[in-house]
Amino acid sequence: MEQLGLVMVYMGNGKGKTTAAFGQALRAMGHGKKVYLLQFMKGSKDYGEVRMAAQLPLMTLVQSGLPSFVVKGNPTPEDLRLARRGLELAQAAVSSGQFGLVILDEVNIALDYELIPVEEVLYLIEHRPPGVDLVLTGRYPPRQILAVADLVSEIREVRHHFAAGIKAREGIEF
Ligand code: ATP
Ligand code: MG
């Protein structure tokens, strides 16, 4: 009987959550595990990791968001539709049991912005089949998510080059 997988949360206001999730994915794939990576609130193909995913046979990467920012407190119907679709795809990936690691990138933000209900993410977590590890990323996870996580790592900003006026760079931010 396979062990129940872990629920890991990467949170905090510093840079490194999404890239840490990709590092975890690399490690899992090194052991032959299939990885499903769902990106909430992202729709740009310009990210280096999105380009790279197409070359990784064990990785399935799906974006379910618009390339533009979601306005907190005033999401468009399309923002809501895409977030819901993302949740449904994630649920299907988890319950299929085919993926050893499922990453819900920026799901904490989708919850904080109330694009999707926390109860449904909790349902997904609680009903995951054995052998499926989960990673949830995003700055501000709701307390209900923190309550069920096995691991919570906070990436705290000590300094970010953005404050010195250095704009997003290819290969660093995207
Ligand atoms: P990365 O994708 O590089 O791992 P992240 O997932 O931790 O970063 P998010 O909170 O998802 O970061 O924010 C997305 C983008 O905002 C990142 O590309 C990052 O460089 C930028 N960012 C993150 N933290 C800060 C910060 N403290 N100040 C300014 N920009 C930031
Ligand atoms: Mg991120």
Number of domains in the chain: 1
Is residue 56 assigned to a domain? yes
pLDDT score of 58: 98
Residue 30 belongs to domain with CATH number: 3.40.50.300
* Best residue for ligand 1 mutational test, from 15, 52, 135 (most atoms within 8 Å of Cβ): 15
Cβ 83 vs Cβ 111: under 8 Å:
no
pLDDT score of 160: 98
Range of the domain at 150: 7-157
Is residue 58 assigned to a domain? yes
Is residue 165 assigned to a domain? no
Is residue 163 assigned to a domain? no
pLDDT score of 2: 87
pLDDT score of 174: 97
Cα 89 to middle of ligand 2, angstroms:
19
pLDDT score of 139: 97
Contacts of 9 (CB under 8 A, 6+ apart): 108, 135, 136, 137, 141, 145, 146, 149, 151, 152, 153
Question: In the chain, which residues have pLDDT < 50?
Answer: none
**Ligand lying nearest the CA atom of residue 140:** 1
Is residue 166 assigned to a domain? no
Residue closest by Cα to atom 21 of ligand 1:
15
Is residue 173 assigned to a domain? no
Q: Which residues lie with the beta carbon below 6 Å from any ligand 1 atom?
A: 13-19, 139, 155, 157, 160, 162, 173
Is residue 46 assigned to a domain? yes
Residue closest by Cα to atom 23 of ligand 1:
15
pLDDT score of 1: 73
Q: Can you state the angle between helices 77-96 and 118-126, rounded to 10 degrees?
A: 10
pLDDT score of 121: 98
Cross-strand pairs, 105? 39
Q: What pLDDT, in 10s, does the model give residues 85-122?
A: 999 999 999 999 999 999 999 999 999 999 999 999 99
